[in-house]
Structure 1
């Protein structure tokens, strides 16, 4: 592993120490176990700096919209004349696979039902509660998170492919700090990015294993969703995604990403047309209008005069904003890697609009079906979630429609495929981050990070420490949000310099 940097060894050491810390039973040291400490820190950040997460995430959305309409929109993320490496279908598939794929499947039915029963604010009627529930599901998975991903991905793609800098977070700050990014400060920034990536992805792998186990229990009826089964699932999927990772970006991830989109669309269309089609499409259309109309208000809502509503916002909206920022290094770096050759306008428009619209339709189909079952058919989806866990929401909905067994099997295949591509993408991204931005990191490096991810997910799932892992990852979002603010300033500085050079060239030609 000749190309590895200090970031690799520091990040690996931190990862191992956190895993060991997470394995220490709470009774050994109740006040110093991982879950307790990270919960205290996260609680402090959310309650004292919730406004900061809200403002900064909204600022990234405003920044993204500005780039679409600005004179900088024609800048190519690459050299002039470079063409996109992937067609639109493959590109969008990679966005979903690295971004929110497994999350959409996990929360598609569960989140709207949760908001339906526990609304972000008082609602007068059941219908109003349903509309608000779907509106906030759109909000949490819509423009704001994709603006976060677009911001960091744009910076990485621009500096890597147009300025020929290494594909590292630290490289995007060179217009502000110069050669300091090649020293200790740059190493510190890159370690934060790796930390957030490792633990964010490991948490998702654990959640994915839980949902696959729930699906197997639903289909077979005699394979219980136990920790042992989840360990076996992680082991099998590890072999699959390591095989995919070792085949390279243009084979494994590309094929799986395209397959993900096809399977997801088939599953969604099946439920749409076998379910309450008119209700779902009316719900989608109405909620889309409400989402756009109320977007400014939701973007700045903090509820300072209502403790209960403020608590809801901290538990959901602020939590999500921190979570997306924590995921930004991973998702952003992967999106950047597959976006060479696109213009700034094309890139930002695609990353913002297409995933947001698809996610909105997804929540309308699965969440809308769940709400319809509760309101019109007295099916207690919320009760099933309370009894069997959030991972059972999807299968409890599918159970009420034709060919439920086949659809559940398709859902398991989709979850597994998203599971594989997320982990696959993460090994690639972690390899890049720890080998000075190498676009083709060594096999040994990818294997190490693949095993670290799976090992982290497995041991903490075994110990019940996934929530602590997730919280630890989100804590990293606070310093990284500050880094992202500096990235925006750095992009503006670089774009202005480029505009000046272009203007001088045009004057000379005239």
Structure 2
């Protein structure tokens, strides 16, 4: 394969070794298999550095908001004459499909329902528990994760399209470290990026296969066997390989637009066939309390309440680490489709649109689930406990008119999100392992596609998806430090460019 970098070979070896390690049963490696080791490391990191994740995620949000109102807002992510490559609708669809597609469908009903029965504070199954459940769902999927994505995506787009730097994460740090970053340290940074992407996406593919099989099982009565899930992975792999080979302007673009149409259709179906007034009242009230309580939620650790602290570690800190581990993948993809937009336009779009859409999504699906259990005693949570988290969405839909049709739309939506996430990831992995090429060779993308699907299938077979997810989250700690350096590098570069721009204007006025 031509034009691949050292990062390609190192990352490929590491990925294969981790998959092999995940296959080794505990009987052969007592207390030394992948699940045991990664769980131990992750537990230590979350326990000792939870506060660091909270401060960092909040810092990235403050930085993003600052950029919207700063003097740097008019700087364009590209040369002065560059115009956006994609319309607003297509741009939002593409960044959203890559960012959180499968996750929103998987957790849309399940997370608010879980918080309703096990709230971060207060008594469960009450009015206040319902409000708190929705508020924290908004929090976990709102401004903070999209600020993390916006930070890394902005840096990549700025240095790639305006400074003509290679489209790799290590190139962003050159203003701080000079040519030193082009050596082994740069290779290390880019390898961490690829590592996090491979395992983060492979885990999501596994969860996607589980939910597709769960939906088909719920609707048609198929048995949820590993063979059935493997067939789903194989079919979807072929589809996203075909999509990946067609490039951004065909495969991902068309599928992303289809995703938005399907997602909005499903959401509107449930909004108007379900408890519309309850959903919209909950959305309005909760969004207000989310904004009002954002500062206190952002830094809440409860050091004197062990139970609440465990909840925060298991949800908020876990999510922040998970979003940071996904940031290289999502950020690289968002950067690639954002050429020509100003910093103000870019950050405002990336922060506001997905956050508002996500809040409405959780209100519709989570609100419907809570309404069923709170007012109608439908025992959705009991069904989830018996059949798995993946059944939450379908258990909710069956209680409303056109439930069968909505379930089929949901299965199709999960499948298209599955394809676009994997498709986007193969592009990002190809880009990061070919010195930042905007058009990585198809054979490179296909190689990473096979690696991702193989990792998902093997670990699904072994029940090791959680171990793989944990391994990806461990990478979030060093990458958080890298992201802090990226912020400093960006500010240094912005300051220097603004000084040059002011000097040119002053010279022109003479």
Q: Is the TM-score greater than 0.5?
A: yes
- Structure 1 residues 35-60: Cα deviation after superposition (integer angstroms, max 9, x where no partner): 00000000000000000000000000
Residue 30 (structure 1) shift: 2.0
Pairwise CA distance, 1:123? 3.5
State the distance in 2 between where 1:395 and 1:228 align. Answer: 22
Q: What pairs with 1:98-113 in structure 2 (closer than 5 Å)?
A: 98-113=98-113
1:28 Cα shift?
A: 1.4
User: For 1:237 and 1:75, how far apart are their aligned partners in 2?
Assistant: 40
Query: Is the 2:118–2:124 Cα contact (8 Å) retained in structure 1?
Result: no
Unpaired stretches in structure 1, ≥5 consecutive residues: none
User: How far, CA to CA, are the matches of 1:401 and 1:395 in structure 2?
Assistant: 11
Q: TM-score, normalised by structure 2?
A: 0.99
Moved over 4 A (4+): none
List per-residue Cα deviations over 1:277-305 (Å, max 9, x = no partner): 00000000000000000000000000100
Counterpart for residue 311 of structure 2:
312
* Deviation sequence 1:51-99 (CA, Å, 0-9, x none): 0000000000000000000000000000012110000110000011100
Equivalent position of 1:286 in the other structure? 285
Query: Is 1:331 aligned to residue 330 of structure 2?
Result: yes
Give the C-alpha shift of residue 125 in structure 1.
6.9
Q: Is the 8 A contact 2:157 2:335 kept in 1?
A: yes
Match of 2:159 in 1: 159
Q: Which residue of 2 aligns with 1:2?
A: 2
Secondary structure of the structure 2 residue equivalent to 1:402: coil
For the 8 Å contact 2:372–2:378, the answer to whether it is kept is: yes
What residue in structure 1 maps to residue 386 of structure 2?
A: 387
Q: Which residue of structure 2 lines up, in the alignment, with residue 344 of structure 1? A: 343
SS in 2 for 1:148: helix
Aligned residues: 509
Q: 1:499 to 1:24 in 2, by over 3 A?
A: same
Measured at CA, do residues 124 and 38 of structure 1 come closer, stay the same or move farther in structure 2, by a change above 3 Å?
closer
Partner of 2:136: 136
Q: Tell me if 1:356 matches 2:345.
A: no
Residues 67-146 of structure 1 correspond to what in structure 2 (within 5 A)? Answer: 67-123=67-123, 126-146=126-146
Quote how far apart the aligned CAs of 1:124 are: 7.9
Partner in structure 2 of residue 369 of structure 1: 368
Q: Helix, strand or coil for the counterpart of 1:100?
A: helix
Q: Give the distance between the partners of 1:460 and 1:167, measured in 2 at CA.
A: 31
1:56 aligns with 2:56: yes
Q: Distance in 1 between matches of 2:207 and 2:331?
A: 21
In the TM superposition, residue 404 of structure 1 has moved relative to its aligned partner by 1.1
* In structure 2, distance between residues paired with 1:489 and 1:455: 38
How far is the alpha carbon of 1:126 from its aligned partner? 0.5
CA offsets 1:322-376 (integer angstroms, 9 cap, x no match): 0000000000000000000000000000000000000000000000000000011
Please give the secondary structure, in 2, of the residue aligned with 1:60.
helix
Which residue number corresponds to residue 201 of structure 1?
Answer: 201
Q: Which residue of 1 aligns with 2:504?
A: 505
Corresponding residue of 1:241: 240
Corresponding residue for 1:264? 263
| Shift of residue 183, structure 1, vs aligned partner | 0.7
* Paired position in structure 2 for 1:453: 452
SS in 2 for 1:301: coil
Partner in structure 2 of residue 186 of structure 1: 186
Query: Does the Cα contact within 8 Å between 2:160 and 2:166 map onto a contact in 1?
Result: yes
- For 2:116 and 2:70, the matched residues in 1 are separated by 39
Provide the C-alpha distance between the structure 2 equivalents of 1:135 and 1:2, rounded to a whole number of angstroms: 49
Question: Secondary structure at 2:304's aligned position in 1?
Answer: coil
Q: Report the secondary structure of 2:72's partner residue.
A: helix
Q: Give the whole-Å Cα distance in 2 for the aligned partners of 1:152 and 1:102.
A: 21
Aligned to 1:42: 42
Structure 1 position 110, deviation (Å)? 0.1
**Offset of residue 218 of structure 1:** 1.4
Match of 1:295 in 2: 294
Matches of 2:315 and 2:381, distance apart in 1: 17
Secondary structure in 2 matching 1:165: coil
- Residue aligning to 2:483: 484
The offset of 1:415, in angstroms, is 0.1
SS state at 1:78 partner: coil
Give yes or no for the alignment of 1:33 onto 2:33.
yes
Q: Specify the alignment match of 2:176 in structure 1.
A: 176
Shift, 1:226, TM fit: 1.6
